[in-house]
Amino acid sequence: MTNKTNTSIFSKIFKDTSIEEHLNVFPNKIGSHGYDAWGFNIKNIRNNMRFVKYLYENYFKVEVSGLENIPKEGRCLLIANHSGQLPFDGLLIGYALVTNPHGARVPKAMIERFLPSVPFIGNWLNSIGAVIGDPVNCERMLDNEEAIVVFPEGVRGSNKLYKHRYQLQRFGTGFMHLAMQHQAPIIPVGIVGMEETIRSYADIKPLAKILGMPVAPLVLPYIFPSKVYIHFGEPLYFKNDVYKDSDINIRVETVKKAIHNLVQIGLTDRNAYYATKK
Amino acid sequence: MEPKKKILVTGAAGALAKKVIEQLKKEYKIIAVDFRTKVDLGIPVESYKVDFNKRIFEDIFREHEFDGIIHLGRISAQELNRFTRYNANVTGTRKLLDLARKYNVPKVLVLSTYFVYGASAYNPSLLDELTPLKASELTMDLVDSVELENLCNIYLYKHPELNITILRPCNIAGPGVRNTFSKLLSEKRSPVLWGFSPLMQFIHIDDMRDAICLAFEKNIRGVYNIAPDDYISLQDAIKAAGAKTIPIPSIPPSLTESISKYLQWKSFPPYLINYFKYPVIIDGRLFAKTFGFKPKKSLQDIFTYYKSLK
């Protein structure tokens, strides 16, 4: 029985070539060996998206709405709430963008600065479109007309305790400066369900200090198959006409409110906590 | 018939300098110098072995009225000790620039390297020419490269009459090139760091020769990165060149450094360990736009060459 299940998962991940159809209409600019300037690699994304497809369709059984709000082309920032300890939310948003029936986008995502120094993880993340969260990178990619996923809460959001689930943490303001300066529409994204996948009950600060990590969460060593809902909101446009931090903060709060509303819609509408077999 | 204009080319023993001399010798009278050896470049190229810090170096300037200098000579971090290298590279370059001023040389081209930016985990991609040079923060062995750049930058702005052009190329590769990363491509088994495969840029030596000649002849002073807009990870590049990889432990960093010091492989020097870990991707658009430069050789041309050697 076990063997049968393993074979089934294996074939679902490795023998599934349907993701190729989406990546055949690949929009990003890449070089002769499939790389772009940030380490993104077309061959790796093909292989990895098969795995993400399994997570998306079979494990988290993601339900998505509002895909029509994502511009088919041109620069945009997808601003989302961050949760679930590991960056699965980024992967799932990425898969939704790659397979968007209204027009495929290959997403870039801004990630924590310490990640490139972790062996294997750094290169792997780069190869699937994750880039260190330096404003220079974001500016260049917007100029390159790319779609960029940003989690302005950073580790404050992804590594918060389970008891604080669905409470949006403080947003950084960098994304708003970039959106205004580069005239990029902001697509608010609300994700529900990731909070329940890995639950942190405490942050062991002394251990974090020893490991040189931002946090050391106390978690159960299991990823719960929580059902995930992703809502893409309508684009928000901001003119480059305010300069004071207080004014920028008001705009950031507008985006935060939009994400809050999408999360609340997800929480109200969700009809299953666990992605059990249909 | 007007006499040919005269150019001083330093580092004449290097593969790149030889190519540049070959290209320019029809148009110009070339005087070639090298710190290490007297290079036989055939008639009509005059060649000298000379230490820039010795008085005799000035005799070459007295004898020839130079119309330009192409300064490619550099003692790499694997040659000689740090002190001698600093003297030759930094103090020697200062001497060269002072002589250029004294003898009214109207244009000077200096070859630098992308190493000066430093390989750091926090580097954004596509570093432009205004990015701070942080290599000396990582290793003392690159201090002379950074200092040489800073010196040239001071002269560039303080003495505009020298019309200094500083070129910072990505990895140069191809026939005759002996730098660390071209060595990695040419070996049958090349060391890599376990779990790290930084993104890299390579330019073929023929394209680099063309870039130098173009920048020298057009002479628009300033600092320019030179790199094609094509990228490949280090491990993929090694494989594409037909080599196998030898993974070296990457954690803890002190172990990696000890292994590198113990092995003393020229293709895995301790001072470049960070360049085996983190990418230093430079933006070559300013040079391409200013000088109308487009590399002719592709990455595949470079790897095909190295593959053919095996």
Q: What is the pLDDT of residues A243-274, one digit of tens each?
A: 899 999 999 999 999 999 999 999 998 877 77
Name which of A32, A39, A123 is nearest B230 (Cβ-Cβ): A32
Name which of A119, A126, A134 is nearest B124 (Cβ-Cβ): A134
Residue showing tokens 């040919």: B4
Asked if B233 and A131 come within 8 Å (Cβ–Cβ), the reply is no
Determine the residue type at A146: E
Report yes or no on A277 lying in a domain. Answer: no
Is residue B31 within a helix (H) or strand (E), and if so which, with residue range?
A: strand B28-34
* CATH number of the domain enclosing A250: 3.40.1130
Name which of A116, A131, A136 is nearest B278 (Cβ-Cβ): A116
Find which of A36, A45, A123 to mutate to test the B interface (most B CBs within 10 Å of its CB): A123
Instruction: Please provide residue B305's backbone torsions phi and psi, each rounded to the nearest 5 degrees.
Output: -60, -50
Beta strands in chain A (DSSP E): 63-65, 76-80, 107-111, 130-132, 147-150, 186-192, 200-203, 217-219, 229-232
How many other C-beta atoms lie within 10 A of the C-beta of residue B54?
11
Asked if B122 and A119 come within 8 Å (Cβ–Cβ), the reply is no
Asked if A117 and B121 come within 8 Å (Cβ–Cβ), the reply is yes
Q: In the prediction, which pLDDT does A1 show?
A: 42
Asked if A137 and B122 come within 8 Å (Cβ–Cβ), the reply is no
Alpha-carbon gap, residue B233 to B237, rounded angstroms: 6
Which chain A residues touch B197 with a CB distance below 8 Å? 123
Asked if A120 and B125 come within 8 Å (Cβ–Cβ), the reply is no
- B304 Cβ neighbours under 8 A, 6+ residues apart: none
Q: Would you kindly state where each structural domain of chain B is located, as residue ranges?
A: 5-308
Is residue B193 within a helix (H) or strand (E), and if so which, with residue range?
A: strand B189-193
CATH number of B5-308: 3.40.50.720
Which chain A residues touch B194 with a CB distance below 8 Å? 119
Asked if A140 and B124 come within 8 Å (Cβ–Cβ), the reply is yes
Alpha-carbon gap, residue A274 to A60, rounded angstroms: 8
Alpha-carbon gap, residue A257 to A263, rounded angstroms: 10
Q: In the prediction, which pLDDT does A248 show?
A: 95
Query: Domain span at residue A132?
Result: 2-269
Evaluate whether A93 touches A149 at the Cβ level (below 8 Å).
yes
Confidence bin at A25 (pLDDT 50/70/90): low
Name which of B125, B197, B298 is nearest A32 (Cβ-Cβ): B298
pLDDT at A5 over 70: no
Q: In the prediction, which pLDDT does B1 show?
A: 66
- B160 Cβ neighbours under 8 A, 6+ residues apart: B221
**Bridge-partner residues for A192, per DSSP?**
A229
Confidence bin at A215 (pLDDT 50/70/90): confident
Tens digit of each residue's pLDDT (9 = 90 or more) over A58-89? 999 999 999 999 999 999 999 999 988 888 89
Alpha-carbon gap, residue A242 to A180, rounded angstroms: 9
B203: Cα within 13 Å, side-chain hemisphere:
27
A31 to chain B: closest CA residue: B230
Find which of A28, A29, A30, A32 to mutate to test the B interface (most B CBs within 10 Å of its CB): A32
Whole-Å CA distances, A244 to A240, A248, A269, B203, B209: 11, 6, 38, 45, 50
Asked if A123 and B236 come within 8 Å (Cβ–Cβ), the reply is no
The pTM (predicted TM-score) of the whole model is: 0.90
Higher pLDDT, B215 or A114: B215
User: Tens of pLDDT along chain B (310 residues)?
Assistant: 678 899 999 999 999 999 999 999 999 999 999 987 777 777 788 888 999 999 999 999 999 999 999 999 888 777 778 888 898 899 999 999 999 999 999 999 999 999 999 999 899 999 999 999 999 877 888 899 999 999 999 999 999 999 999 999 999 999 999 899 999 999 999 999 999 999 999 999 999 999 999 999 999 999 999 999 999 999 999 999 999 999 999 888 889 989 988 888 888 898 899 999 999 999 999 999 999 999 999 999 999 999 999 8
Buried/exposed code over A89-106 (b: 16+ C-beta within 10 A; e: otherwise):
bbbbbbbbbbbbeeebbb
Q: In the prediction, which pLDDT does B299 show?
A: 97
Find which of B120, B203, B233, B301 to mutate to test the A interface (most A CBs within 10 Å of its CB): B233
Q: What's the ipTM? A: 0.90
pLDDT at A276 over 70: no
Evaluate whether B95 touches B52 at the Cβ level (below 8 Å).
yes
Percent of chain A with pLDDT over 90: 55
Token output for A70:
């994502």
Write down the mean pLDDT value for chain A.
88
Could you tell me where the DSSP H helices lie in B25-142? 56-63, 82-86, 92-102, 135-138
DSSP string, B57-89: HHHHHHHS--SEEEE-----TTSS-HHHHHIII
At B132 the three-state DSSP class reads coil
Which chain A residues touch B230 with a CB distance below 8 Å? 31-33, 35
Asked if A31 and B195 come within 8 Å (Cβ–Cβ), the reply is no
Token output for B266:
């020229």
Asked if B232 and A31 come within 8 Å (Cβ–Cβ), the reply is yes
Asked if B124 and A132 come within 8 Å (Cβ–Cβ), the reply is yes
Q: In the prediction, which pLDDT does B63 show?
A: 93
Name which of B195, B199, B278 is nearest A35 (Cβ-Cβ): B199
Asked if B232 and A113 come within 8 Å (Cβ–Cβ), the reply is no
pLDDT at A278 over 60: no
> Rounded to a whole number, what is the distance in Å from the CA of B224 to chain A's nearest CA?
18
Evaluate whether A84 touches A157 at the Cβ level (below 8 Å).
no
Asked if A32 and B300 come within 8 Å (Cβ–Cβ), the reply is yes
Name which of A41, A117, A137 is nearest B125 (Cβ-Cβ): A137
Report yes or no on A259 lying in a domain. Answer: yes
- Chain B residues with CB within 8 Å of chain A CB: 121-122, 124-126, 193-199, 229-233, 236, 240, 250-251, 277-279, 281, 298-300
In chain A, how many domains are there?
Answer: 1
Q: In the prediction, which pLDDT does A208 show?
A: 80
